[in-house]
């Protein structure tokens, strides 16, 4: 039979350590000076599937802000309706990151857009 291998795992990080690690990651993202540098960091940091998932999420932000129905966004982009719904929830109830980036890039909002997430 197979012998059990006892792999020692590091202790789980506490909340402060996880917050500090996230802050260090945010700092690394902030120092990227241009698109090429950011793409290089993302390529090194993420798997191709993770990058694709993030690109899919970002791709649906503009049409959601414009009030395009989920099914139409899916037909245009191929992004799953489930993912579109998750992004929509983040736009309306999230931390405000999508909205801040969209505003900074000048993406237009449909007058009926009901996003309530504060970009602050």
Q: Which domain holds residue 73?
A: 49-113
Query: Which band of pLDDT confidence, cut at 50, 70 and 90, is reported for residue 113?
Result: confident
Question: Is the pLDDT score of 66 beyond 80?
Answer: yes
Q: Is residue 27 part of a domain?
A: yes
Distance CA 29, CA 32 (A): 6
**Same structural domain, 36 and 53:** no
* pLDDT confidence tier of residue 3, bands split at 50, 70 and 90: low
Q: What is the pLDDT of residue 13?
A: 74
What are the structure tokens assigned to 110, written together? 């449909």
My answer on whether 65 and 79 are in the same domain is: yes
Q: Which percentage of the chain shows pLDDT scores above 70?
A: 84
Domain total for the chain? 2
Q: Quick one: which of 25, 17, 57 has its CA closest to 44? A: 25
70 vs 73: CA distance, rounded Å: 5
Q: Does pLDDT of 1 surpass 60?
A: no
Report d(CA 101, CA 15) in Å as an integer: 27
* Same domain flag for 61 and 82: yes
Question: Is residue 118, in this structure, part of any structural domain at all?
Answer: no
Q: What is the pLDDT of residue 31?
A: 97
- Whether residues 33 and 80 share a domain: the answer is no
- Which structure tokens are listed for 5? 């291998």
């Amino acid at each position: 039979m197979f012998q059990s291998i006892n792999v020692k795992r590091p202790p789980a990080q506490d909340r402060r350590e996880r917050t500090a690690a996230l802050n260090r990651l945010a700092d690394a993202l902030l120092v990227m000076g241009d698109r090429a540098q950011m793409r290089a960091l993302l390529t090194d940091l993420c798997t191709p599937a993770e990058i694709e998932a993030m690109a899919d999420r970002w791709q649906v932000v503009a049409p959601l802000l414009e009030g395009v129905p989920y099914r139409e966004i899916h037909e245009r982009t191929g992004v799953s309706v489930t993912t579109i719904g998750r992004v929509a929830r983040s736009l309306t109830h999230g931390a405000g990151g999508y909205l801040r980036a969209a505003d900074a890039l000048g993406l237009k909002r449909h007058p009926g857009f009901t996003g309530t997430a504060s970009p602050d």
